[in-house]
Amino acid sequence: MKQVEDQEQLHNYLRIHQIEPVFNEALLPHLSLCEFDEGEIICAQGDPRSHLYILVKGKIKIFTTSTEGNKLILSFKSPLEIVGDIEFIQNIEMINTVEAVTPVTMIRIHYDWLNKYGSDHPPFLQFLLKVITRKFHIKNNSFVFNLMYPVEVRLASYLLSISFDESNADFQGRLSTANLKDAAGLIGTSYRHLNRVLNQLCEAGLIERTKEFIFVKDSKRLSELAHHNIYE
């Protein structure tokens, strides 16, 4: 993580995402801007609670790990997204691990300052309420998506989620073949069936598969296959 000492840029992000009123004058001096490289862990499952993060640029991946070491990807998120809101309210350790899928910029603030200056500030509390209820709504849509659409549609959506970032046109992601079991878990299918569908997409010219990676070749047709649904 790299902390960015640029208050003008921080306030610019607040204006862009229209969240300036969320923070009162006492909270604003305690906001900081930080950047994470692609693949860098922002916070890890089981870590002590410390900061609230606001994603203002880039894309993140949220996953959980079982006691046996099995990893399950839960979702991908783009701005504007909050990390650490439930942990702040419930006063618990970090529930999931959050990783930067692309280069990421986040605004962060320590829970101590939120408790001191934000716990009785209605705009901040309303902001948290909207964020948390939106997460429940998205989770419900994702559940319905997994139930109602075939594997090829869900896989197309997944590949688009990891391969592109609307806030960074230069980013061209790829899926490591080492992560195919994680992908199968997220979209709710078997590893064997996932490979069959990948082969079908390769034959159709939508993706290219090498020994180590899977690349999107035709994002337009893949988006049409996904019915424009994205795992976010």
CATH of the domain at 155: 1.10.10.10
Assess whether 71 and 101 both reside in one domain: yes
Helices of type H across 34-171 = 85-90, 111-117, 122-148, 151-163
State the CATH number of the domain containing residue 6.
2.60.120.10
Token couple for 128: 């948290």
Assess whether 109 and 53 both reside in one domain: yes
Please, are residues 199 and 43 in contact by the beta-carbon 8 Å criterion? no
**210 belongs to a structural domain:** yes
**232 belongs to a structural domain:** no
Rg of the Cα trace of the chain?
19
Assess whether 117 and 33 both reside in one domain: yes
Assess whether 26 and 112 both reside in one domain: yes
Assess whether 219 and 123 both reside in one domain: no
Considering 92, 120, 144, which residue would you say is the last residue of a domain? 144
Assess whether 118 and 180 both reside in one domain: no
Assess whether 117 and 182 both reside in one domain: no
**37 belongs to a structural domain:** yes
Considering 127, 144, 161, which residue would you say is the last residue of a domain? 144
Assess whether 133 and 169 both reside in one domain: no
Average pLDDT, consecutive stretches of 10 residues, N- to C-terminus, the chain (232 residues)? 92 95 94 95 94 95 81 82 94 94 94 94 94 84 73 88 70 78 81 93 93 90 79 60
* Closest of 56, 60, 62, 50 to residue 22, by C-alpha: 56
Assess whether 126 and 78 both reside in one domain: yes
**48 belongs to a structural domain:** yes
- Return all residues near 23 (Cβ < 8 A) that are at least 6 apart: 14, 31, 118, 121, 124
Considering 97, 113, 144, which residue would you say is the last residue of a domain? 144
Assess whether 184 and 204 both reside in one domain: yes
pLDDT for 150: 87
- In which order are the strands placed within the sheet that holds 71-77? 41-43, 97-100, 60-65, 71-77
pLDDT for 101: 87
Q: CA 67 to CA 192: how far, in whole Å?
A: 24
Residue span of the structural domain in which 87 resides: 2-144
Does this model's pTM top 0.75? My answer is yes
**138 belongs to a structural domain:** yes
Residue 11, helix vs strand vs coil: helix
pLDDT for 92: 94
Q: CA 227 to CA 2: how far, in whole Å?
A: 37
Assess whether 72 and 92 both reside in one domain: yes
**21 belongs to a structural domain:** yes
pLDDT for 232: 61
**230 belongs to a structural domain:** no
pLDDT for 209: 93
Domain count along the chain = 2
Assess whether 185 and 80 both reside in one domain: no
- On the CB side of 178, CA atoms within 13 Å amount to 1
**231 belongs to a structural domain:** no
pLDDT for 230: 62
